[in-house]
Chain A
Amino acid sequence: MPIEKSDLLQGTLDMLVLKIVALGPVHGYGISLRIRQISKEVLQVQQGSLYPALHRLEKRGWLEADWGESEKGRQAKFYRLSTKGRKQLESEESNWNRLASAVASIMQTAQ
């Protein structure tokens, strides 16, 4: 069953977006596509959350954006990770890992 935006942990979407963008410059459609593909259709990001998130991240200076041509020759806005964004991603990743392993160990102990 796909997990929708409201079920995503607060702040997780930002981290996912940063992670995808870290792989290389990509447009909004590409990000939603990748999240779907990589999560094997488990995570579905609604456009209504994705674009505000992208603009928020850009405003914070974690993402930078340029206009360019897509594979099909259409004009598209491509997002890149800034240096600041890379640092943010690192700290969020390590936080996430700590949280995930903590949650995992609690779940295991409780079983």
Chain B
Amino acid sequence: MSWWKSLFPKRASDAQMNSELRFHIDELTDENIAAGMSPAEARRRATLEFGGHENFKEQVRDVYRIRFVDATLANLKSAFRFIRKSPTFSATVILTLALAIGANSAVFSAIDAILLKPLPFPDADQLVRVDQLDPKNPRPFHLVAPVRLEDWNRLNSTFQTLTGYYTEDVSETTGALPEKLTEALVAPRFLQVLGIAPSAGRDFTPEEEHNGGPNAILISDQFWRKRFAANPDAIGKKLRFDSSSYSIVGIMPPSFLFPNRDVDLWSPVPPDAPYSQDRKSAWYTVIGRLKPTTNLAQARANLATIQSELGQQFPETDAELAVTIEPLKEVTVAGSRRSLWILFGSVSLLLLIACTNIIALLLARSAQRQHEISVRFSMGAPRGAIVAQLLTETFILALLGSALGLLVANAASSVFRSLAGSLPRVEEIRLDTRIVLYSLACSVIVTILCGLFPAIRGTRRNLSQSLGQVSRSQVSARNPLQWLLVGIQVALAVTLLSGAGLLLRSFQELGRVTPGFDPSHILTFQISTGWGETGDLKRLRQRTDRIMETLRATPGVEAIAISVGVPGEPFKYQTEVELAEGRADSEPKLVADNRLVSASYFATMKLPLLAGETCRESEPPTVVVNRAFANSYFASSQAMGHHLVASILGYSGAAEIIGIAGDAREAGLEQPPVPTVYWCAPIAEPGTFFLVRTSNAPMSMAETIRRQIHEIEPLRSVFDFAPLEQHFSDGLAENRLRTILLSFFAATALSLACVGLYGTLSYSVNVRRREVGLRMALGALRGQIVKHFLFQGLFVCVMGCLAGWVLALASARVLAGLLYGISPTDIPTLSAVILLVLVVAAAASLIPAIRAARVDPMQVLRDE
């Protein structure tokens, strides 16, 4: 017989059955003719003997069919009976699985929403980010000039269409107080690229996208609900910003949160406006939709050709530019990929530990059920049927576990959403059919992983036949397999705990870092301003000065400064700066972080000056550099007196280095100080933070400051009030998320391993009661019995710890780069983890060991 036939249930095909029966009838007919009947009569009799063809064939078919259905029903029935009959066992398994599958599904739902699912736009895989890259002046990093965007859009052959956007905060002034709103200013074709239509109203008309056309805006669903209480009459209403009014032409659907979830409104920027014609002023983040038939490589080649043609046409502005194209999804989620996969890895380890635990439980269980199993064998049940029955039981348990797990996952993902505000796309995390299917798949895998081995082992025939006698006469039931499982659990728990321990230590180290200045008692906030105002720097500067003077005079304010970007949060503005004095080609290029601050910054932040004086806000331009800059690029403090050249807003000409400041961690606590140049430009461009040193608690000053500014700038809104320390803490949000979740998983893993250890040792004590009784009757001391069992448990743990240590070292690579101030193979951390595991394991072993010593020898011997 060919091998594959045995894989499938043999099914008598109807045709074969028919010819088999026809043969029989033919033979009977012959027999009847031989007995002297007429052929017709002979045939009739023969057919009659079969008592109706169809009914009969049905009976034969039943041989193949009913068995399966019956068996499944019977298995289900017996599985439910089994669960009812052993509630403690079943509850343990179901709860363990609910926890493990729930945690797994929760993390998977995040991975699914953030990493796996396409962005929430139609044919989202066609969406790409297009950046222009100037090797000379990386700022503004990826931004594209509007006129260049229009060139690309017109000349390319690989995109359906291209568009761009930028955001700024605006003050809406139709209410009593100016309200800060986030506005996305978009190039034409914005909704066309994203493929989303307004849920009410319409997209912008071509007239609205022309210079001098009517002012139109689209509003977000959230803003519509907040401001207009979801009233459809909102369309046609007007809002006021910058002393112009804008008509609402449409409302976007609630799921449309692009470029980010804070955007309240979208308004078009006319590509034919005079300010849009400068090839040097780049402000758009550009996205495009590829044609369905083109791929990334073709698009890259296409735009590269176009850009080099533009370079010949406009050698001054376009010759040096390169174009990069990346999938939009990649750009959006790449940063959180590693953290998420680490979490998924640890939560899968947790599931593995839970499975190991359940295998041990099932093994113990099937040993107790040997009697039932041998009875079934002796009744003639084939082994396959018994295995199927045991597997059905495990499957029902796993199914109940994962159903409960979905509830856990639901609760867990709302915790996750609140913890993971820093991750992209968190608003898309939800429990949907994909997650339900995933949980279902988990329960099938768990059934196979946990159920198959105990079922096959439990139904070994020789075992089942012999066990009836053995269990009474056996002196010592050794079950190396169960101990191996406990060892595996301990090893996996140690691995997870090491990861969590390292992240915790790294977090602790971060807490010890001093930023190089004094972040306490500093209140930060922003005042709305538009990019358009940077066109008149003189006025902007006057305005900034006036605000700072007013605040400086406010009681409770000790000092005030401004800074573009807030210290403590990543803000990269790294460029190459040139030395007016010139520099040999052999020397390293001067690459520095540029920070635009007011001269009062150093005093306000208590950032010490090591040499020289603070930069001046007046001509001729001057700068301060930090120690890292001075030390990396100049021999012993010869930096002073050199002149730096860079194109920085408000700076022209060479700026003299007149001071050296101490190193500060302004880009976040985990970022070591890099060479930095402080440009003293007291210009509040968008994204500028006001930093106020207060005498009392920082937040208590917020209302006073808001009122003061409203008096002098009634059309602007003041927002983002927060103590500076809050920004430091926010900067560590993803780090914190990782640490909290991994610690939680590790703690769960440790408790599961302890339950496993406790259960296995208890079982072993139970099986060996007789032996213990006998020993005690022969004079063994209680202490010796306790020691015996305690050491049995601890020995396995030590082995598990050793294996876990090796695993932890092997997986250290995963964490490298996520740790601060601590090596991924930090011996003290790993030792502390192992010590913790051993102490907890000792506690878990002690209870069954003491119970063993309480065995009453007389009682046991009487039971014989």
Contact = CB atoms under 8 A, between A and B. Distances in A.
A59 B10 contact: yes
Nearest to A27: B23
B27 interface: yes
B66 to A, nearest CB: 11
A51 B60 contact: yes
Interface stretch (A13-21, A74-82, A101-109): A74-82
B59 interface: yes
A70 B30 CA distance: 13
B16 interface: yes
Contacts of A59: 9-10, 63-64
B23 to A, nearest CB: 5
B16 A47 contact: no
Given A47-B49, A58-B10, A29 B59 contact: no
Given A47-B50, A47-B51, A59-B10, A29 B23 contact: yes
Contacts of A58: 10
Interface residues of A, number: 20
A40 interface: no
B20 interface: yes
Interface in A68-96: 70, 72, 74-77
B414 to A, nearest CB: 53
Contacts of B63: 52, 55-56, 59
B28 A29 contact: yes
Contacts of B59: 48, 51-52
Contacts of B51: 46-48
A58 B64 CA distance: 10
B49 A77 contact: no
A28 interface: yes
How large, as a class, is the contact surface on chain B? 20 to 34
A83 to B, nearest CB: 13
Contact of B20 (A46, A56, A77): A77
B484 interface: no
B49 A28 contact: no
A48 B56 contact: yes
B20 to A, nearest CB: 5
A82 B502 CA distance: 64
A7 B26 CA distance: 28
B24 interface: yes
Interface string A23-36: 00001110010000
B56 A75 contact: no
A32 B23 CA distance: 13
Interface string B12-39: 1000100111011011101000000000
B62 interface: yes
A93 B637 CA distance: 108
A55 B16 CA distance: 12
A46 B615 CA distance: 113
A82 to B, nearest CB: 10
Contacts of B28: 29
Contacts of A46: 51
Interface in B30-82: 30, 49-51, 56, 59-60, 62-64
Contact of A70 (B16, B23, B60): B23
Interface centre among A52, A64, A70 (most CB of B within 10 A): A52
A55 B23 contact: no
B60 A29 contact: no
A35 B659 CA distance: 116
B69 to A, nearest CB: 15
11 contacts: A29-B23, A29-B28, A48-B56, A51-B21, A52-B62, A56-B63, A59-B64, A72-B27, A75-B23, A77-B19, A77-B20
Interface of A: 27-29, 32, 46-48, 51-52, 55-56, 58-59, 64, 70, 72, 74-77
Given A29-B24, A77-B19, 18 more contacts: A27-B20, A27-B23, A28-B23, A29-B23, A51-B59, A52-B59, A52-B62, A55-B12, A55-B63, A56-B63, A59-B10, A59-B64, A64-B1, A72-B30, A74-B26, A75-B19, A76-B23, A77-B16
Closest 7 CB pairs of A and B: A29-B27, A55-B63, A29-B24, A76-B23, A77-B20, A52-B59, A56-B63
